[in-house]
Structure 1
């Protein structure tokens, strides 16, 4: 498994804080508080698990851009080992602890079953083989990192920095250590709830990196629906293939918001069943089991076998 340590590089170093003077009761002069160590990017293999899933490789990532360490899980298709000259598209997914392993998921035992579904759809020739990359959320800082704007009451607004983590740190690592197709048309980004919101934001602001989006049950409500004007005011229609969905049991307000987003995308030039697919799932709720039940359809639209 590859190991990368960028500790000697200053490319991603955070700026140091100014010295603070503190009173020393045992001295006549003030002393300077030591400068904190700057964060440095490091991506290291995670500790091996005795019953590790086949073809699932785990890393511990310490970003130089955001302070929380997080796990990154890379799930490889069976073709990766069988076809050593082949390169593969990559699907980056937020809330990575909820994708593959029920021991790590927010609700124990409830995951997207992402690896199993990708394997099944590949074996059925419904999709092309893909690499799945799950980025674990930062726990208490999840709301901060998954929101593109700051809400006056709830805070947040670190979405741009989280995007830098993906674009400047993680994607270069994945492209260097795995046989990927790095171009935007072969790189997807997706998530649910706030993960859907940040995927939408990063797709529209960085279509030069992400060309396919999976927007499941998006939290359009955030900060008085501030994502909608941003999308409406984008100067040109970016080259994005978009999956969008909502469950009807998630609440009438959220269904209306997602309908409104669908209409906006049509007005901006997307075409249903060409570069946009919108699905409303009867009685589907807002949880991992519901998203797992339709992940096969997400894959079939974004990565069809040609």
Structure 2
């Protein structure tokens, strides 16, 4: 008896198996697709009335990247808490949201935390604060426009009017990295009626980076910048000085850059230095303690190899402790950027999960929003 399967039968079985595989695909891929929760990213323009007419000539129509959580497209009656996340100096929103290759992909980090049950679902909003000076410092200035007001008022109002948010301070968090961490404490300590919880990742600029005895090389670099092209080619520290001056010591008389530097003809400028100090959170924090007491939660961290920032975080920890204000402070093994994705996934998102009010069935609110 011939036990071999006839060629036609073998062909029919092969075709049937191929058809089945085309329908279900490899089992491991199907399982992975079903278990991974993926949000949606939109990049829109949001006009800033307070950014109009800035002396730098930057557009008041700002790019804004928005992460919408996995259930946003399917659960049309659900409203969500919002995290406003501020990027750092020389960065932009597109670098954080996967539009441009960068050292971090924020949506992928959020997706991972949501999929693994470490985070609730949030809308996450990041405005593009990259400008002529490589960063706005999230401050109000005639030179760069009113960035502080743009984030706290105009952007929040726009997002509440166009997305299914929970439009209450208890459901809004503010966070950021580096310059964004600075913006978080700067804006958050002034607006507890808008944001209830703050998370600062490696916040810069907590103290003014100025000395009474100027570095001659630093002075020469600053005063050697005469054109925008010169500024584009400058080192990081010189760029940061111009961004700080544009935000904190603007000038309507200076024609090219519309700012006053803390050094002129190699000599320190006391009034400019005083203006910079007046914008340093560790200098001004005592005036905002009553506001900080109104916040539901505040947390901050930095890598131990990020020496000056970690040192300033310790000072912030000491101030809040002296006032009896509950907070979370951590110093971890790392530098300024190498563990930020991990910190967002493991610390920041769980922090907001625990502290922002969620509303899974807000059917009474309008469902006309996107």
Shared fold per TM-score greater than 0.5: yes
Structure 1, unpaired ranges of 5+:
1-52, 149-155
Q: 1:263 maps to what in 2?
A: 318
Deviation larger for 232-241 or 166-175: 232-241
Number of positions where the alignment pairs a residue of Structure 1 with one of Structure 2: 235
Choose which of 91, 97, 100 in structure 2 pairs with 1:100: 97
Q: Which fold has the larger relative contact order, with Cα–Cα distance below 8 Å and residues 6 or more apart in sequence?
A: 2
Q: 2:79 maps to what in 1?
A: 87
1:54 CA displacement: 6.0
C-alpha RMSD over aligned residues: 2.5
Structure 2, unpaired ranges of 5+:
1-37, 52-57, 88-92, 209-275, 359-370
Q: Distance in 2 between matches of 1:159 and 1:233?
A: 25
1:266 CA displacement: 1.8
Choose which of 280, 283, 306 in structure 1 pairs with 2:331: 280
1:121-159 Cα deviation digits (max 9, x unpaired):
2222222110011111223345444357xxxxxxx7979
Q: 1:188 maps to what in 2?
A: 173
Tell me, yes or no, if the aligned pair for 1:247 and 1:280 is still in contact at 8 Å.
yes
Choose which of 336, 341, 366 in structure 2 pairs with 1:292: 341
1:247-298 Cα deviation digits (max 9, x unpaired):
11112x3222110101111222322xxxx2211111x1123x4311211111
Choose which of 288, 300, 313 in structure 2 pairs with 1:244: 300
Q: Distance in 2 between matches of 1:201 and 1:157?
A: 18
Q: Normalising to structure 2: TM-score of the pair?
A: 0.58
Q: 1:132 maps to what in 2?
A: 124
SS in 1 for 2:194: coil
Q: Distance in 2 between matches of 1:143 and 1:157?
A: 15
SS in 1 for 2:73: helix
Deviation larger for 261-270 or 134-143: 134-143
Closer, same or farther in 2 for the Cα pair 1:159/1:140, shift >3 Å? closer
1:198 CA displacement: 1.4
Q: Distance in 1 between matches of 2:319 and 2:138?
A: 22
Closer, same or farther in 2 for the Cα pair 1:163/1:240, shift >3 Å? farther
Q: Normalising to structure 1: TM-score of the pair?
A: 0.69
1:231 CA displacement: 1.5
Q: 1:63 maps to what in 2?
A: 48
Q: Distance in 2 between matches of 1:216 and 1:265?
A: 17
Q: 1:197 maps to what in 2?
A: 182
- 1:150-165 equivalences under 5 Å are 161-165=146-150
Q: Distance in 2 between matches of 1:89 and 1:213?
A: 14
Closer, same or farther in 2 for the Cα pair 1:226/1:158, shift >3 Å? farther
Tell me, yes or no, if the aligned pair for 1:146 and 1:159 is still in contact at 8 Å.
no
Closer, same or farther in 2 for the Cα pair 1:129/1:292, shift >3 Å? same
Q: 2:287 maps to what in 1?
A: 233
Tell me, yes or no, if the aligned pair for 1:146 and 1:158 is still in contact at 8 Å.
no
SS in 1 for 2:159: helix
1:56 CA displacement: 0.8
SS in 2 for 1:58: strand
